[in-house]
Amino acid sequence: MSAGALVTGAARGLGLEIARVLAARGLVVHVTDVDLEAAERAAADLGGTAFASALDVRDAEACRSAARRTAQETSGLSVWVNNAGVLVTGPAWEQSEETRRLMVEVNALGTVNGTLAALEPMRAAGRGHVINVISLAGIVAAPGEAVYGASKHAAMAFSLGTLYDLRQAGVKGIDISCLCPDGIWTPMLFDKLDDRDAAASFAGVLLQPRAVAEAVGRLVDKPRPVTILPRRRGPLLRAIDLWPRLGQRAIGPALAAGRLKQRRMKRRVRKVPP
């Protein structure tokens, strides 16, 4: 029996592409999503030994149960990918408490729950790899995404802090990798072409899901604490972190570029009447 891999938010978009990459590497993929029917369709689409279950990453016990099921139905939980995420744009003061809570609980607490659930069987086995899809929002703050960015910064801090704790405890066979991609053309952005507050998500390089999924595959082969996609964006974002006033001056041109790309993308995807 092959080793198992669990992917959260895997019914569509990036999560499904990640599941495809892992399945191609010979892993038995546990497709999880809050939408059970969609997860089951995705698992059927993957074929082979893939299986599905409903999972709300905000539920710590549900995450532990999913980890146990993966370990039981495979030769062991080898890879857990925390991919599930929620993005709602706009100034924080305009968002409802429910919306703010949703982003923090899915993006940050969901990463905590998934990581800790995965570590239970992984620590027992002495090996494993947790890959957390963070986003560039975990590296640098962006206008229109204050709460989203806060949740991703929290996910980044937790991931690296937990990795350091593992090493301090003498655990060397378990890795935690953070993947920080630029904007990705997935269902998360499909409905934001008219959203001016989402311009920051379009300002950089708009990546295709397959390219990001392949980066996850490379991390499976060679773990790294932090990977930024595209790599050249890293130094610029680090500079903005060091000199926030530089970031403030760059906001206007960056948002203008993002809105221009939104208009171009809208023209590209506009449905032509029959």
Catalytic residues: 148
Distance CA 243, CA 231 (A): 20
Q: How far is CA 121 from the centre of its chain?
A: 22
Long-range contacts of 238-247 (CB under 8 A, 24+ apart): 238/139, 240/140, 241/139, 241/140, 247/140, 247/141
Of 149, 109, 118, 115, which is closest to residue 240 (Cα–Cα)?
149
The amino acid at residue 90 is G
Q: Strand 77-82's sheet: what is its strand order?
A: 51-54, 28-33, 4-7, 77-82, 128-133, 174-181, 226-229
